[in-house]
Structure 1
Amino acid sequence: MISLKQIHYALAVEKFLHFKNAAEYCAVSQSALSTAINELEKQLGVTIFERDNKKVLVTPLGKDILQQARKIKLDVDELYLLSQMHKQPLSMPMSIGVIPTIAPYLLPKVLPGVRRLYPQSQLKIVEEKSSVLVDMVRQGDLDTAILALPFPHEGLIAFEFWQEDFYWVTHKDDKLADREEIRSDEMALSHLLLLKDGHCLKEHALAACHLPGNQNDTGLSGTSLTTLVQMVAGQLGTTVVPEMALDSLLANSNELRAVHLNEPGPHRTLAFLIRPNYVGTANIESLIACFREQLSN
């Protein structure tokens, strides 16, 4: 009979396409994992993985089998979680994905409150880009993910919990640095520094400033807001950052000024994404209540 252990091992091999790495991920020996995979293929009478000394490939039929195996694993995970619903909220381990333009600014504000209200909580945080996190939630590798909307998330349910505007960050010597508000048509858009492609904050900033998606005339970009702000401090241009990040990014700099972007908002919405059949909705609601309380203080 096919076991859940075999399914778990097979999905790990699919994820890493490497038996040794899959074995380390599953905390078993490579020989034990290989034996379980071989037995699974023997029971099914099909080859799921083609392997040699250099690579591992998933066969066409193997892809269909693993897709069904993933559904089985999700159903079992949901069944186990359902059995724990009578316990206190957040008393079971929970995996949460967070995008890089939210994680370093949101988590320090909210996690102390979570620990205080739910000392038994066991949160595993995974930081990745939005597209990766959406796939991980869909596949069951994460319980939920915190993203900034709008962002495509077909097939998932969004629980919005916070909205915020953007601020234009410039050097103190800029002639507009002392303004309290600024419209996008007043900014020197040719000097606007943006994140690299693949970061949803770039798209949100462009949308808030009413700019096309190919706007990046400076030829300069960064992989993090911290990098962009450092470039602004070096007078290489200006940038746009979310309100939540201002304290962290500008706290130790006397060279920078932040001016509210006076364009229709909110400029982005933060939300938890879950699968439609996820049974831990009560945990999400508990986190939302806690997050809102901490962010409002």
Structure 2
Amino acid sequence: MELRLLRYFEAVARHQHVTRASAELAVAQPALSKAMRDLERAYGGVALFERIGRNIRLTEAGEFLLVRARSILAQVDAVHEEMQARLGVRGGRVTVGAPPTVGVRLLPAVLAAFHRLYPQIELRVREAGTQALTGMLAAGEIDIAVVTLPTIERGFRVTPLFEEELVIVAAEGHPLAQQRSIPFAALVDEPFLLYPPGYEMRDATLRACRRAGFTPRVVLDGGDMDMLLRLAEAGLGVTLIAPLALGSARLAVLSIADQELRRTMALSMRDDPATSPATLTLHAFLAERLVRRTT
């Protein structure tokens, strides 16, 4: 049993609503629903919830699990606090670097939860692509980074977090919008919107185009995540993204049928015996809270 599933279950049970729980947890609603199905399967297919209109209610089995889950999670949080005291985490400053998708969609809720446990630790956040983040980490400008694997620099401690499929997004009225899956070569005549140099999503796009045998026609080079999504929504072009980036954008999402386009996200920090207790504490917290599965 993963702590992640128990935390998800507790939030869904508390809100009695999957959408509100997904907003609190910063987890996509389909991924959260799948996690609840996984939890039910882990207990032999027992139903933990029943639907009442748009809301849900715990079954008798769900009520029993909620009591146990809250007890377990309270013990885990108590261990965090005890380790804080043991390690002498009385303060400090930790700088975290992350790409836009993680920095906007996942980190806010996780860092807020960390701050509630460790209010004496000052947190700073830097946003950049994997290449820049790896350089910042090596130079000591940041303490922890969320990066796309693989990273080639040695001397780092790397903890894989989650893997997700990359998809093409286009305006809802796009001619390809009715298709769920396309070969990448179907995009040969499409205008592309690209992330700036140094972002793995840009490199992944260019690699996919090369494998499909064409050079992309770029209409915008260097936009940030929200700009690319809004421009795609407006019909200016298509872009390759991780589903985590979607947010509330109204876009057609197209899987790629003939290429396996995926990314693995990981935590990275310098493998340094002098790493501060505050950094070690945040690293352990992020490693637990950012582990997630996508659908």
Specify the TM-score bucket, using the shorter chain as the normaliser. Answer: 0.5 to 0.7
- Residue aligned with 2:123, SS: strand
Corresponding residue for 2:53?
none
- Residue aligned with 1:218, SS: strand
**Structure 2 counterparts to residues 48-197 of structure 1, below 5 A:** 86-87=86-87, 92-115=92-115, 118=118, 121-188=121-188, 190-197=190-197
Partners of 1:213 and 1:108 lie apart in 2 by 40
- Residue aligned with 1:192, SS: strand
Partners of 1:131 and 1:87 lie apart in 2 by 32
- Residue aligned with 1:258, SS: strand
1:275 to 270, 280, 283: 270
Structure 2 CA distance for partners of 1:260 and 1:274, relative to 1, 3 Å: same
Deviation at 1:161?
Answer: 0.8
- Contact map agreement 1:203 1:213 (CA 8 A) in 2: no
- Residue aligned with 1:154, SS: coil
Percentage of pairs with the same residue: 25
TM-score by length of 2: 0.59
1:236 maps to amino acid? L
Partners of 1:96 and 1:241 lie apart in 2 by 22
Instruction: Structure 2: state its 5+ residue gaps.
Output: 1-83
- Residue aligned with 2:246, SS: helix
- Contact map agreement 2:156 2:269 (CA 8 A) in 1: yes
Give the aligned CA root-mean-square deviation in angstroms: 3.4
- Contact map agreement 1:90 1:122 (CA 8 A) in 2: no
- Contact map agreement 1:90 1:283 (CA 8 A) in 2: no
Corresponding residue for 1:292?
291
Deviation at 1:181?
Answer: 2.3
- Residue aligned with 1:86, SS: helix
Partners of 1:263 and 1:85 lie apart in 2 by 52
- Contact map agreement 2:146 2:266 (CA 8 A) in 1: yes
Partners of 1:196 and 1:212 lie apart in 2 by 22
- Residue aligned with 1:235, SS: coil
- Contact map agreement 2:191 2:237 (CA 8 A) in 1: yes
- Contact map agreement 1:206 1:213 (CA 8 A) in 2: no
Partners of 2:185 and 2:179 lie apart in 1 by 14
- Contact map agreement 1:194 1:239 (CA 8 A) in 2: yes
String of CA shifts for 1:223-259, please: whole Å, max 9, x gaps: 21222222223322211111111124x1xx3xx2112
Give the structure with higher Rg (CA): 1
Number of equivalent positions: 209
Partners of 1:235 and 1:91 lie apart in 2 by 48
